[in-house]
Each structure stands twice: as C-alpha cells, then as structure tokens.
Amino acid sequence: MRASSGAGRVRTGPAPASAKALASEFARYFGIPVTARMTQAQITDAVCHTCNRVGVRLVVIDEIHRLNPRTTTGAETADLLKDLAERIRATSVYAGIDVSAHPHLPVASVPASPRRHGRR
C-alpha cells in the first residue's frame, strides 16, 4: 500500500485489496493506530468514528470496476464500502471505467461527459 502525496487522498494498491486492508488504509490515513490483532470491525468502527468527528464530507472510491463481488474478497470489500457509506455522514462517490458493462456491479452509471458528433 502507498499513500498519495495529494491532500485528502487515500490510495491503496494493488487490487484486489481485502476489506481489512482497505479499512486499515483509511485508518492509516487518519493516524489511527492499527495492530495485527484488530478485527476489521474494530478498524471500521474507528474509521467511521474519526470520519464523523473530523467532518469528512466526501468519500470517493475510484477503480470500482476492479471490484468483483462474486469473489469472497470482492464481496467482503463491497460489504465494507456499503458499511462505510451507511455509517459515515458524507457523500460516497464510486468511479470506474465502463461500469455499466459490469453486470455484477449494481451501480448507476453516469457518463463523464456527453459525447457529441458533428458540429454545432
């Protein structure tokens, strides 16, 4: 895992990251100490509490097209993302490439920009 140098950004990699690894990366970003003995639920509780305490207003998850909830790791990670979206008082945005082509991702797809053909 590596952190981005951009303010307010948390980056994880490489995919697929486990749910516990993703929760731990959020915790690391907020400076929440995490030990190997902590459960995913304990880490998630600490992350949600901290996000709400510091007033996080937007959570953006990119590369959502890499998530496959039909695998064990993917299902656990999808459950974590749902849990975070329900418990953090912030707007959650999921972005990815051609998400509508992935039937296992039940998300609404909005084009990044309208495509225009011809001149106006």
Identify the pLDDT of residue 106: 56
The distance in angstroms from the start CA to the end CA of the chain is: 47
Kindly tell me if the per-residue pLDDT of 64 is higher than 60: yes
**What residues contact residue 35 under an 8 Å CB cut-off, 6+ apart?**
none
Average pLDDT of the segment spanning 47-51: 98
Q: Is the pTM of this model over 0.85?
A: no
* Burial tier of 29 (Cβ tally within 10 Å: 0-12, 13-18, 19+): middle
Q: Record the tokens describing residue 62, joined without a space.
A: 């990119």
Mean pLDDT of the chain: 81
**What residues contact residue 26 under an 8 Å CB cut-off, 6+ apart?**
10, 43, 47, 51, 84
Residue 24 CA, distance from chain mean position: 12
69 confidence band (pLDDT: 50, 70, 90): confident
99 confidence band (pLDDT: 50, 70, 90): confident
Average pLDDT of the segment spanning 102-106: 63
